[in-house]
């Protein structure tokens, strides 16, 4: 990225993503639109598609000291730059860098809800878990079966390895029954958050509350 350039967030007009991307690139701006796999019910069947991680928004890079950024607000497909006090507010570089490190050349995130992963570091190292959701702060919420409870654990994305790659989950263990598994309410030693709830007797998946 050019010196002095920073990442900013552009709010898009309804159905304006493709139009905004095309016109911003034409003006010489760098853009970033991370995507993830989502499964939706459509026409009586389930369809998996690539969808924006942040619907309605697009990352745009530019040098705020130069005036050309003002053209973004009048770009077709863009509603406005996210600003405060009349000045665009930059997005923390580590956030975009972290997302970029997890995407391929097409902007596709390497992990998606439902993926099986192996934890490679921290209090739950070597455990196999299921991805519940991705958080914008580089953490990934996982589902673990710990001592008969389905538990949601927040882990840094850099501490995960997808199971489908190179047999990463061969030999991985489940937390259930492991004497070292944390009890309810315990916080992981590496600072990851833990939330647990009793598993239903019939084995059904309990209701998960979003937005923790």
Spell out the domain ranges in the chain.
6-101, 116-198
80 or 38, higher pLDDT? 80
State the average pLDDT over residues 93-116: 81
Highest-pLDDT range among 98-102, 167-171, 174-178, 183-187: 98-102
State both tokens at 204: 């059904």
Contacts of 169 (CB under 8 A, 6+ apart): 116, 117, 118, 128, 161, 163
Say which residue the tokens 């959701």 belong to: 133
SS3 assignment, position 138:
coil
pLDDT at 75 exceeding the cut of 80: yes
State the average pLDDT over residues 44-49: 75
| Domain 6-101, architecture per CATH | 2-Layer Sandwich (3.30)
Collect contacts of 39-43 with beta carbons under 8 A, ≥24 apart.
Answer: 39/114
Strands (E), 63-201: 78-81, 83-84, 87-88, 90-91, 116-119, 128-134, 139-146, 149-156, 160-162, 194-198
pLDDT-derived band of residue 212, with 50, 70 and 90 as boundaries? very low
């Amino acid at each position: 990225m050019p010196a002095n350039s920073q990442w900013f967030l552009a709010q898009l007009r309804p159905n304006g993503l493709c139009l905004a991307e095309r016109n911003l690139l034409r003006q010489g701006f760098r853009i970033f639109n991370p995507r993830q796999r989502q499964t939706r019910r459509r026409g009586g069947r389930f369809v998996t598609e690539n969808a924006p991680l942040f619907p309605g928004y697009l990352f745009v890079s530019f040098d705020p000291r130069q005036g050309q950024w003002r053209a973004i607000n009048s770009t077709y497909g863009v509603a406005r730059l996210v600003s405060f006090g009349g000045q665009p507010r930059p997005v923390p570089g580590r956030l975009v860098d972290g997302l970029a490190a997890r995407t391929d050349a097409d902007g596709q995130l390497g992990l998606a809800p439902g993926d099986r992963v192996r934890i490679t570091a921290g209090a739950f190292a070597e455990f196999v878990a299921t991805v519940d959701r991705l958080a914008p702060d580089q953490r990934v919420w996982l589902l673990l079966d710990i001592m008969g409870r389905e538990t949601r654990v927040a882990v840094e994305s850099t501490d995960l390895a997808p199971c489908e790659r190179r047999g990463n989950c061969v030999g991985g263990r489940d937390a259930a029954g492991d004497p070292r598994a944390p009890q309810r309410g315990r916080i992981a030693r590496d600072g990851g958050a833990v939330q647990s709830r009793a598993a239903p007797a019939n084995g059904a998946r309990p209701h998960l509350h979003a937005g923790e």
